[in-house]
Homo-oligomer: A and B are copies of this chain.
Amino acid sequence: MSNNQFKKGELYSFITGKASTAIGRRLQKNFKQANIEITIEQWSVLYHLWKVDGMSQQQLCDATFRDKPSITRLVDNLEKLKLVKRNASKEDRRKNLIVLSPVGKELEERCMEIANITLNEALQGVTNGQIEIAKEVLQMVYDNLK
B121 touches A131 (CB 8 A): no
Q: Does A15 contact B (CB under 8 A)?
A: yes
The residue from B3, B21, B138 contacting A65, defined by CB atoms under 8 A apart: B21
Complex-state Cα separation, A47 to B14, whole angstroms = 13
Contact with B along A12-46 (1 / 0, CB 8 A): 11111111111111110000000000001000100
Q: Is A52 an interface residue (CB 8 A)?
A: no
The secondary structure that dominates the A interface is helix
Q: How large is the interface on A (under 10, 10 to 19, 20 to 34, 35 or more residues)?
A: 35 or more
Task: Provide the residues of chain B in CB contact with A10, threshold 8 Å.
Answer: 135
CA distance A124 to B144 in the complex (A): 7
Shortest Cβ distance from A26 into chain B, in angstroms? 5
Q: Is A69 an interface residue (CB 8 A)?
A: no
Mark A residues whose CB is within 8 Å of B.
Answer: 1, 3, 5-6, 8, 10-27, 40, 44, 47, 51, 64-65, 112, 115-116, 118-126, 128, 130-131, 133-142, 144-146
